Amino acid sequence: MIRNLTLLATAGILAGGIAAAAASDDPIADRQMMMKNTGAAIGTLAKMAKGEMEFDATAANLAVRTMNNAAIGFVHLFPEDSMEGGDTEAGPKIWEDMAGFVEKARAMETVTADAIAFPAESLDDVKEQLGKIGGTCKACHDDYRVKKS
């Protein structure tokens, strides 16, 4: 597991800048911002899938790259002292089972990396990516996020 974490950290550095987040002054705000960006990014794919936005290969590609960056950096923003505060919706299970949490993030990292390697060339591709990526969001949220509203 330690090896996996090291690999993740290395990938974060390669992805550019996100590793700095490990020493964040406000990890709760930073991880929430990362998830907000992730929500906006998947929203772009969802709008295309629903026909509310025209298929745009560049926008789709940017969206999956945003999500891939988040998948890599996110897990570094959960120090022990950030379990509470800032209206966090992070569930206690994150700290009870960090390895399981990291696995969920890796699933999101894998499907978004696939989407970068094989960029969407059609609306059908976008729909397929949306399904695969969306499944990894839910898989983590079900266990590790406690919705407050």
Residues that bind ligand HEC (CB under 6 A): 28, 31-32, 35-36, 38-39, 42, 67, 88-90, 101, 104-105, 108, 133, 136-137, 140-141, 144-145
Cα–Cα dist 47/94, whole Å: 31
Minimum distance from residue 106 beta carbon to ligand HEC (Å): 8
Nearest distance in Å: CB 107, ligand HEC: 7
Gap between the Cα atoms of 52 and 45, Å rounded: 10
Nearer to ligand HEC, 17 or 86 (CB): 86
The structure tokens listed for 51 are: 């026909």
Task: Give the nearer residue to ligand HEC in terms of CB position, either 19 or 38.
Answer: 38
d(CA 72, CA 22): 11
